[in-house]
Structure 1
Amino acid sequence: MLALASCGLPRTIAGNASQAPVSTATVTAPSTPTVTAPVPQTVYVPPPQTVTTAPAGVAASSQWYAQPGWITAQPWITITPAAGQTPCQWLHARGYSYAQAYAAWAQNGYPPSWSATNDGYPCQKSYGMQH
């Protein structure tokens, strides 16, 4: 039995197939929407920067990295610069911090060629003034 009385249409009696519909309706489905994918973009993410802080038990002065105990505790860095590249440029290009470059300078016997200004601080052209 089909009940249409709630829609304002007369009820159909079960078994009475001769009754014609009161009205007809045409339903049209909406068109399929067009989906456009976004244009891919190239995003440059800079490499992380190494931030070195004073180790535990060492005063956080501006030159904590110059203390002999800290320098000798650092792992040895085998420096292999390309032709025309200074050891400082090589260290900087590979992401070593200034403190690590200072330790490498000390471990290599404080070569004067590492200090462009001959003031006792290495790698100033690569890392800037650090004192």
Structure 2
Amino acid sequence: MLALASCGLPHTVAGNASQAPVSTATVTAPSTPAVTAPVPQTVFVPPPQTVTAAPAGVAASSQWYAQQSWINAQPGVAITPAAGQTPCQWLFVRGYSYAQAYAAWARNGYPASWSATNDGYPCQKSYGMQH
């Protein structure tokens, strides 16, 4: 026999009949929650941006105009030099800044012919030393 007197429930003593419980409690187990899958969403990812890196031997620069993000933001320039004129001379005569000439050089694949001194900086004969 169990002694349940400490719980407030009647108990039986050998030879005595049990009495009815003082109170009754009903315990209900919680129901299982419904699981709902999230609604699928469409995510748009922009295509990758092509970035042209300077070739080996081209000096890295901390100049703001040498930053790839700025170069990529510049409009393309169709350079059409006259006979005997370099692309740098063409840009200079038309009023382009050195930064714009640098961007044009980068956007045209860093041609070695734009750097008379082969030091990785273009148009020095037209614009002077800029670094």
What interval of TM-score do these two structures reach, taking the shorter chain for normalisation?
A: 0.5 to 0.7
> Identity across aligned pairs (percent)?
86
Which AA in structure 1 matches 2:67?
Q
- Matched with 1:101 is 101
Distance 1:108 1:128 in 2: 20
| 1:119 counterpart = 2:119 | yes
Which AA in structure 2 matches 1:111?
P
Distance 1:93 1:63 in 2: 23
| 1:70 counterpart = 2:70 | yes
- Matched with 1:10 is none
- Matched with 1:88 is 88
Distance 1:115 1:107 in 2: 15
Q: What is the CA-CA distance between 1:110 and the residue it aligns to?
A: 0.1
Q: What is the CA-CA distance between 1:63 and the residue it aligns to?
A: 1.0
Distance 1:63 1:124 in 2: 15
Which AA in structure 2 matches 1:126?
S
Q: Deviations over 1:4-41 (max 9, x none)?
A: xxxxxxxxxxxxxxxxxxxxxxxxxxxxxxxxxxxxxx
Q: Which runs of 5+ in 2 are unaligned?
A: 1-60
Distance 1:104 1:93 in 2: 15
SS in 2 for 1:103: helix
Which AA in structure 1 matches 2:78?
T
Question: TM-score when scaled to structure 1?
Answer: 0.53
Q: What is the CA-CA distance between 1:62 and the residue it aligns to?
A: 6.2
Question: TM-score when scaled to structure 2?
Answer: 0.53
Correspondences of 1:1-131 after superposition (within 5 Å): 63-131=63-131
Which AA in structure 2 matches 1:118?
N
Distance 2:69 2:107 in 1: 12
Q: Which runs of 5+ in 1 are unaligned?
A: 1-60
Q: Deviations over 1:56-76 (max 9, x none)?
A: xxxxx9611000000000000
- Alignment length, in residue pairs? 71
Which AA in structure 2 matches 1:70?
W
